[in-house]
């Protein structure tokens, strides 16, 4: 019989026109033994070994309008349900966990909404995966940045630049002493800009700058590929040229590919969660980031993009703050602490609020695309403006006051303030 400590607990937000208790019981049944009505062979011994169990139901205020209409009408009932899945039925394999505890939920009848809002893993997962290899500490060591956020930018336009054009833009920002540059997630190895040609055009400038200053700009190269062997060839190309980071489209390549890469990687793995929004945007469906991020941290990403304050997309500030806090929570002993990356429409104007709402921590990357490369004074001035904004935030000085003695910041305010998109 399974011991009580050997369960994986999932918490579900459920919305139904019927009884939340009955629907929670159906989740537990369908997602474990697969039978809601007892069948021959479903013995007590079998259920003790593998059947999931509802351990708590917490009713929530009723919803008079369904979040996601079903074939029923009338008031909708909401509740949170804690369901324990025996470890013996899943083990430490993350594909099994995703399949059993998450994957089949959304096919069950009787729900107008269902969302996975929490997951607690038992000690049996401790040491089962490598976790981050570099994380916060390694990212700081490799960039030489201490005592402030790592300031980064993105190559823009995202697509269309040829290798010499990419190199010209990168030269400006590395000469302005930026800490980090990344390929946009949409850029991998197109015909007009093969990865090998971009590396050949850019890495010599980074290495030359390192020789002059003793500090190496971290560049995250787009190495994602559906074929793990091809992705490893891309990895090896970057590593051999002196690179130290790669941007990985985690949802595009999947669990198996990131596990394959992490076991062999010598690069910092910068996780881009493109595709994440279709899993979470509807508040009554999908899963919360606090659940989603646990899978990828166990698998070994080092840096995790999570949007930011006042982003250009749909995600509200509260969602960013919740995601940031989730990444700060210990996860068993899964390697180094992962580095949160604030991005999406960022410029210096969000620095003070980011600093305040993330608990006044400096352990983050602050990633600005247009907020740096579209600065009126050029990308170099954009880097300086963002650094100045963070200096003001940490000192508690209003941005406009600090800008009086910092022309790059003043230009940035004139360009991006009043809701103008960075």
Residue 50 lies in a domain: yes
Task: Residue 358: give the domain boundaries.
Answer: 135-416
Residue 157 lies in a domain: yes
Per the CB < 8 A criterion, the answer to whether 415 and 403 are in contact is: no
CATH of the domain at 357: 3.20.20.110
Mark which of 80, 95, 125 sits at the end of a domain: 125
**Residue 76, C-beta contacts closer than 8 angstroms, at least 6 positions apart:** 15, 16, 17, 62, 63, 64, 65, 66, 67, 112, 113
Residue 130 lies in a domain: no
On average, the pLDDT of the chain sits at: 91
Buried/exposed code over 407-421 (b: 16+ C-beta within 10 A; e: otherwise):
ebbbbbbebbeeeee
Residue 1 lies in a domain: no
- Report how far residue 56's alpha carbon sits from residue 402's, in angstroms, rounded to the nearest whole number: 52
Residue 263 lies in a domain: yes
Mark which of 92, 125, 158 sits at the end of a domain: 125
Instruction: Please check whether residues 187 and 121 belong to one and the same domain.
Output: no
Instruction: Please check whether residues 270 and 384 belong to one and the same domain.
Output: yes
Instruction: Please check whether residues 21 and 115 belong to one and the same domain.
Output: yes
- Report how far residue 246's alpha carbon sits from residue 269's, in angstroms, rounded to the nearest whole number: 5
The pLDDT tens digits for 144-202 are 999 999 999 998 888 889 999 999 989 989 998 999 999 999 999 999 999 999 999 99
Residue 118 lies in a domain: yes
Q: What pLDDT does residue 85 have?
A: 94
Handedness of CA 339, 184, 220, 377 (dihedral sign): negative
Give strand pairing partners of 385: none
Nearest to 13 by CA among 286, 278, 318: 286
Evaluate if residue 3 carries a pLDDT over 80.
no
Instruction: Please check whether residues 207 and 77 belong to one and the same domain.
Output: no
Per the CB < 8 A criterion, the answer to whether 161 and 194 are in contact is: no
Instruction: Please check whether residues 121 and 143 belong to one and the same domain.
Output: no
Residue 422 lies in a domain: no
Instruction: Please check whether residues 121 and 139 belong to one and the same domain.
Output: no
Mark which of 125, 146, 178 sits at the end of a domain: 125
Instruction: Please check whether residues 250 and 160 belong to one and the same domain.
Output: yes
List helix spans (H) across 100-189: 135-143, 163-175
CATH of the domain at 58: 3.30.70.150
* Range 290-317 average pLDDT: 95
The pLDDT tens digits for 56-103 are 999 998 766 556 555 455 678 999 999 999 998 899 999 999 998 888
Residue 388 lies in a domain: yes
**Among residues of the chain, what percentage have pLDDT more than 90?**
76
Q: What pLDDT does residue 2 have?
A: 42
pTM: 0.93
Instruction: Please check whether residues 145 and 286 belong to one and the same domain.
Output: yes
Nearest to 268 by CA among 146, 135, 179: 135
Q: How many structural domains does the chain have?
A: 2
């Amino acid at each position: 019989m399974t011991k009580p400590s050997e369960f994986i607990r999932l918490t579900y937000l459920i919305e139904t026109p019927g009884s939340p208790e009955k629907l929670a019981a159906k989740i537990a049944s369908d997602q474990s033994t697969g039978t809601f009505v007892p069948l021959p062979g479903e013995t007590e011994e079998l259920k003790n070994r593998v059947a999931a169990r509802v351990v708590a139901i917490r009713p929530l205020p009723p919803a008079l309008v369904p979040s996601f209409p079903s074939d029923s009408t009338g008031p909708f009932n909401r509740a949170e349900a804690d369901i324990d899945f025996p470890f013996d039925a899943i083990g430490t394999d993350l594909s099994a966990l995703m399949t059993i505890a998450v994957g089949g939920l959304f096919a069950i009848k009787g729900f107008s909404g269902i969302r996975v809002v929490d997951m607690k893993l038992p000690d049996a997962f401790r040491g089962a995966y490598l976790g981050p290899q570099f994380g916060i500490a390694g990212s700081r060591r490799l960039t030489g940045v201490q005592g402030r956020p790592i300031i980064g930018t993105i190559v823009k336009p995202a697509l269309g630049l040829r290798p010499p054009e990419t190199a010209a833009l990168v030269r400006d920002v590395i000469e302005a002493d930026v800490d980090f540059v990344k390929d946009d997630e949409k850029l991998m190895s197109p015909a007009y800009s093969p990865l090998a040609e971009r590396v050949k055009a850019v890495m010599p400038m980074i290495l030359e700058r390192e020789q002059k200053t003793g500090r190496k700009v971290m560049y995250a190269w787009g190495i994602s590929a559906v074929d793990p062997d091809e992705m490893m060839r891309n990895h090896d190309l970057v590593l051999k040229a002196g690179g130290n980071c790669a941007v990985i489209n985690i949802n595009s390549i999947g669990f198996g590919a990131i596990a394959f890469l992490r076991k062999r990687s010598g690069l910092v793995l910068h996780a881009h969660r493109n595709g994440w929004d279709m899993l979470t945007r509807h508040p009554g469906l999908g899963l919360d980031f606090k659940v989603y991020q646990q899978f990828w941290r166990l698998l070994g990403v080092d840096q995790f993009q999570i949007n930011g304050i006042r982003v250009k997309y749909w995600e509200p500030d509260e969602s960013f703050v919740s995601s940031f806090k989730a990444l700060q929570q210990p996860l068993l002993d899964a390697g180094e602490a992962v580095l949160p990356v604030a991005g999406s429409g960022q410029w210096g104007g969000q620095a003070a609020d980011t600093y305040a709402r993330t608990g006044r921590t400096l352990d983050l990357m602050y990633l600005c695309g247009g907020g740096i490369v579209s600065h009126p004074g050029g990308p170099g001035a954009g880097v300086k403006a963002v650094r100045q904004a963070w200096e003001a935030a940490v000192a508690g000085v209003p941005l406009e006051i600090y800008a009086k003695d910092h022309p790059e910041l003043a230009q940035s305010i004139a360009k991006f303030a009043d809701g103008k998109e960075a």
